[in-house]
Structure 1
Amino acid sequence: MPKKMIAWDAARTRAKLDELVEPGVIGFYRSVEVTEVLGVQGKALTNFLTLAVAEPVEAPAEVDWKSILLNQKRLKLRGTDWYVGIAQYRLSLDAFLEKVSEFEMTGRWRPAPVELQTGTLAAVPPQFVPADGFKSHPWNGVLKNNFFEGSHVLELFDTSKEHLRFLFGESRRLTCLAELVGEYLPIKLDGMSDRLGNIIIQLPVTVISSEARSSSDYDHSVAITWHPDVSPRNVRVAAEIWQDSTVTSFDAAVISTGEATLQLNSPGGGARTQIWDEDRRVLLSATPPVHFLTAASFSMSIAHPGSSSPRRDFLLPDSMGNMAPQSLALIQERSAQLIGSKPEAPREPWVSQRVFSESVASLKSRREFVQYGLDEGVLQEVEKKPAAEPESIQAEDTSAENLSRKFTRRMVALEDLRWLMKEHGGEGVWLWDPFLNAEDVLRTLFFCPHHGVQLRALTAGKAPPDDGPNSVVEDADERERRRQALARAEQKKRDQAAHLEAAKGNGRGLHLEFRVREGGAGWGFHDRFIIFPREIGSALAWSLGTSINSYGDEHHILQKVAHGEPIAQAFQELWEQLEGEQYLIWKTP
């Protein structure tokens, strides 16, 4: 077994902490405010998150450990037997450093006189987190008041998350935890779920303040001011503009006080800046891209009252079905007026309006955007597949008579779903389609190659328009119609179950359940998705574009969804509402 390379350890964290808290290096710290989000089960306390912030205020002579809880009432984490406690107290800097030393020696984190359960904590290399710019940074949803020069952050990272897996396995619990904590602290836990279980040490930079300004000659200047108790020392002010994954401008200057003028050839700004302490070799400031306002566009619009306003008249059906007249006053815009001048930008608007953010061929190779139902090149698509792939459809009749164009399109489309299940289905596959039937389940989920993973199929029991005549007696009363519909639905479920039971084979490694939404349970649905749940991290989801029973027949688009976790949550909520034999079509033993 190869030897594990350790890039950082607790001793280096303690040494870096000693270096940073030295008065005047990056700030003047006298105490550390410790905020703990705790999970409570019986008498056991588990660290959900600890944030320790170094600050200049004095610590009390003694901590009143009986009054450190911010929540006076017990906070129940819905759907679990856990409660949440939020503690906050202040230690002197020396006392906190002793706690870090204890961790270095024992590997245990215990800042308060109570036993605190943690996962496996590992020291990781330090980071520097800038203040927010135009876009917010997830770190700043957790750190305290990181508004100015930024903060150095040291972490003891929970690498096992052994006590927190119940949160990652059900993301709604994570959402609930974030809501509970948000009532007491300005912390957005769900935005930094990977940091749950960690010990976070924040050291804000306060020895300098800086300001970036636009310069007519050099277009970017950075002025620095030192803390009154600090003797000025040399710092390197560097700025770069990063556009379109390219460094388009860079400049740097060494100063000790005053202002550094940097030539970046960008009057509108857009540079991110770092201030590096040349003497102490430490970062004192970093910013996201800073833009300068060089022009403002104003436009005025006016809606004329009364009959003088131009109006759009049209008809709209009312609740009784009668066409009722509608009249809408239109707003007339005046021409815009520009104050100032826009900076010259020869690459714009073409770069910002680039038609594709990524090659369509690349998206297609990952099955993130694929069109079906286009006849051109379909046969070539099949012929280009590696020889090993057709074995996945060996049960199909591929004789010359049956290899029609429609059949070929369908096989190409279904092979892409099978490819997705192979690539992403290692933790399960959920198929959500209102028209899903037994044949569709056999052609999709049965082809998931991952042994024993959870496979779920959810249908609304709907039948395609061409599924045959309706057997309901036309002159039956409403009660009889409902009885016939229920009997037909029950028979359909039995037929679907019998189909799967007869076709299941040995069922080796198959863990599948097929449910139907019917009656007033849950809610109706229309969209079709294939979902890949994740125990840790966001679920993945693809929009199918059409139902499986018509997959590849007509033009439709398979497309990856940007935010898969909310879709997985919606599926899970509906699935749980359909618990019971009346909604079960079939499942493996």
Structure 2
Amino acid sequence: MDPKTLLKEYNLLTEKGNLGFYQRAEVTTIFAFNKKHKTPRNLYTIIVFEEASSELNHNDFLTDELIEINKDYSLGINQEYKTLAEIKNKYQELIEEDRWSDDEGQLNIADLNSVPKQFIRSDGSKLIPLNSVLKNNFYNGSYILEFFDQDKNIFDSVFKSQEKFKKTVEKIRDIIPIDLTFIKDRVGNIIFQFPVTLLTYKNSSKENWNGSNLKLAWHPKVKNKKEFSLIAKNEFDGNLMGFYNSKNSLKNKNSITTGNSKNLNEFIIYNQENNLIAAHIVNSYLGENFELSIEFPSGVRTIKCEYKKVEIKVKSLSKRTSNKSLDYFTHIKKRKYENEKKRLAQNLSIIQYGKNGVDDRKKALEDIRKLVEKHGRKGVYLWDPYLNHKDLMQTLYHCPYKNVPLKAITTYNKSTKKIHGARLNIENISYSKWIHIERAIFKTDSNNLGLNLEFRVRNNSHGWNFHDRFLLFPYSDRLHKPAVWSLGTSVNGLDKNHHILQKLNNPQIILNEFNDLWDELTAAGNDTLVWCSKDN
């Protein structure tokens, strides 16, 4: 957006009475200090508008001393308070000259792109990711003006590895309540936050469940209450179950008839003159069919441990249950549950094998191959402490895409040695002999056409022990993000145990751990290499 439009949006959000009655701004800067050039680089900056006295104008380092990131950079966090006039000057400098400075001097920032104003509601029925990097967005919500670092070369130039980034954000989180862990797309950004503080509210369902009662308490400085209206709706199963649009100005006590309030109720209070949101409320009420658990202390359980006695406070649970009736909501929820269960099975998101002793190995392998074909266009990784050539030929070898990176990690130690030897019918097999035989079979049992497979082993000298088994996709073009499945058992045990194939909700965490171990094993060179198709 052009500077004129950006300044117009800024003026709209800061005008007294539009969102609040701001008197100052708190500026928090998280920066990486370049040790060689002695310059700070922006990692994340947030400017929060507040109603507190503007007389407080100081500059504090929240880090007593710079914290090590790596040999090139250190971490620092600075916080200062600015008057509205000062912060407007800084904003204009940013939009007109692409510059940002604080009391300590010029801050190196990326080439930032402006984003149109956004309203960020508080967490309610679901978590809002951006709230992890905003300040105290608990109530009515906040508007933000965001300047976005779209290049994100900061990861390669500053952190250089996911592990360094992970440790850095943990250090930040220990100092201030800003968590970049799962929203790293905001690293390098500058955000102006405008909390909405015009009112507080309390809502409840009507007795007959055909709407809501909404009580409002206004900020004492609000003089234009007649300008505010409300939209309310109730949704269930993708259907709009109720709707309400206030025609008259809002009162302190409002009776809202939507037709239904049994499910997720959403209210938006907004100013009709400037179309700014004063509150976005999303919640559900404790209804006719509910179960409430109450805890009561019930003594102490003691356990004799090796060095001391451990005490566990035991609690009794008292359940209060309403009279449950089979209404249309109950039937719809049951259908949704059954459909979701079928959908998860069809998408192989969660499926179990070996139930009641049934041998499901063939089906389990078929499902793994389906996943490999569906999501493996950018590569497939397999992480299993008992892998050998047979397992890989039954799984990763079935990837039909030429030369995509295929990686596998296994383990060779005292416990896995017996299993590796037993699978080759060789008792007490040595590490070197096991690798020699594996390589020979890889060469003879396939022509390895179009295969880009690297198979490495964690041994006593390199890497660390692992137990869980995963099928990983570094990037699924179907999902537009990484994807990871937990296998529930080793590939060689698919016919022996009951297990569950399950898609994980946080694939990046597992992928990062795999990559960290892979990097360590790769750095060890041939000491950890079982087989590389490109070398043969």
Aligned partner of 2:118 in structure 1 is 127
| Aligned-pair CA distance for 1:360 | 5.9
Q: Which amino acid aligns with 2:49?
A: A
Distance 1:237 1:224 in 2: 12
Q: 1:181 pairs with 172, 185, 190, which one?
A: 172
Distance 1:25 1:40, change over 3 A: same
Matched residues in 2 for 1:237 and 1:288: separation?
13
Q: Given the superposition, is the C-alpha separation of residues 293 and 108 from structure 1 closer, same or farther in structure 2, using an over 3 Å criterion?
A: same
Q: Given the superposition, is the C-alpha separation of residues 201 and 417 from structure 1 closer, same or farther in structure 2, using an over 3 Å criterion? A: same
Among 230, 235, 238, which residue is 1:237 paired with? 230
Aligned-residue offset at 1:240: 1.6
CA shift at 1:286, angstroms?
Answer: 0.6
Pairing of 1:422-461 with structure 2 (within 5 A): 422-448=373-399, 454-461=405-412
**1:266 and 1:343 in contact (8 A); partners too:** no
Please identify, of 22-31 and 161-170, the stretch whose mean Cα deviation from structure 2 is larger: 161-170
Q: Give the TM-score of the pair, scaled to structure 2.
A: 0.79
**Match for 2:46: what amino acid?**
L
Further displaced range: 125-134 or 26-35: 125-134
Cα deviation 1:146-197 (Å, max 9, x = unaligned): 2322211221122111213478984433331221112221122213222222
Query: 2: distance between equivalents of 1:417 and 1:337?
Result: 45
Any conservation in 2 of the 1:121–1:158 contact (CA below 8 Å)?
yes
Write the mapping of 1:66-145 to structure 2, written as runs, cut at 5 A: 67-77=59-69, 81-110=72-101, 114-133=105-124, 135-145=126-136
Gaps of 5+ in 2: 301-305, 307-313
2:271 corresponds to 1:277: yes
Give the Cα–Cα distance (whole angstroms) in 1 for the partners of residues 351 and 263 of structure 2.
39
Structure 1 CA distance, aligned partners of 2:278 and 2:104? 35
Alignment of 1:331-480 (within 5 A): 346-354=327-335, 356=337, 358=339, 362-363=343-344, 366-369=347-350, 416-448=367-399, 454-461=405-412, 462=416, 463=419, 467=423, 469=425, 471=427
Which of 529, 532, 535 is the aligned partner of 2:473? Answer: 532
How far, CA to CA, are the matches of 1:296 and 1:250 in structure 2? 28
Can you list the C-alpha shifts for 1:448-501, whole angstroms capped at 9, x where unaligned?
Answer: 466665432112354379736554xxxxxxxxxxxxx3x533211111123335
What code does the residue aligned with 1:141 have?
A: S
Distance 1:81 1:350 in 2: 61
Show the counterpart of 1:37.
Answer: 30
1:206 CA displacement: 1.8
Name the CA distance, whole Å, in 1 between partners of 2:509 and 2:285: 34
Match of 1:46 in 2: 41
Query: C-alpha root-mean-square deviation of aligned residues, in Å?
Result: 4.2
- Among 6, 15, 20, the alignment partner of 2:13 is 20
Q: What residue number does 2:220 align with?
A: 228
Contact 2:155 2:161 in 1 (8 A): no
Kept after mapping to 2: 8 A contact 1:417/1:444: yes
Which secondary structure state, in structure 1, belongs to the residue aligned with residue 8 of structure 2? helix
Q: Deviations over 1:413-445 (max 9, x none)?
A: 656545534543455422112332224334544
Q: CA deviation at 1:301?
A: 8.1
Maintained 8 Å contact 1:46/1:163: no
2:198–2:218: 8 Å Cα contact kept in structure 1? yes
Unaligned runs of 5+ in 1: 1-7, 306-318, 320-329, 375-404, 472-484
Aligned to 1:514: 455
In the superposition, the TM-score normalised over structure 1's length comes to: 0.72
Q: How far apart are 1:50 and its partner, in Å?
A: 1.1
Partner of 2:255: 261
Cα distance in structure 2, aligned partners of 1:304 and 1:359? 42
CA shift digits 1:522-549 (9 cap, x unpaired): 5554543211235999742123355445
1:58, 1:92 within 8 Å by CA — same for their partners in 2? no
Aligned-partner Cα distance in 1 for 2:265–2:109: 41
> Over alpha carbons, which structure has the higher Rg?
1
- What do residues 50-97 of structure 1 show as CA deviations (whole Å, max 9, x unaligned)? 111111234459x66xx53210122123x6643211111122222222
- 1:582 is aligned to 2:533: no
Whole-Å separation in 2 of the counterparts to 1:297 and 1:118: 51
Q: Distance in 1 between matches of 2:124 and 2:273?
A: 28
Distance in 1 (alpha carbons) for counterparts of 2:375 and 2:228: 49
Distance 1:197 1:427, change over 3 A: farther
Whole-angstrom CA distance in 2 between matches of 1:304 and 1:198: 52
Identity %: 28
**1:380 corresponds to which residue?**
none
Higher strand share goes to which structure?
2
Amino acid at match of 1:494: H
1:563 aligned onto 2:514: no
* 1:18 CA drift (Å): 0.9
Q: For residue 230 of structure 1, what is the amino acid of its counterpart?
A: V
The amino acid across from 2:240 in the alignment is: V
Tell me the CA shift for residue 200 of structure 1: 1.1
- In the aligned structure 1, how far is the partner of 2:130 from the partner of 2:13? 20
Q: Structure 1 residue 275: deviation in Å?
A: 0.3
What is the one-letter code of the residue matched to 2:181?
Answer: D
Match of 2:192 in 1: 201
Distance 2:457 2:87 in 1: 57
Moved more, 273-282 or 105-114: 105-114
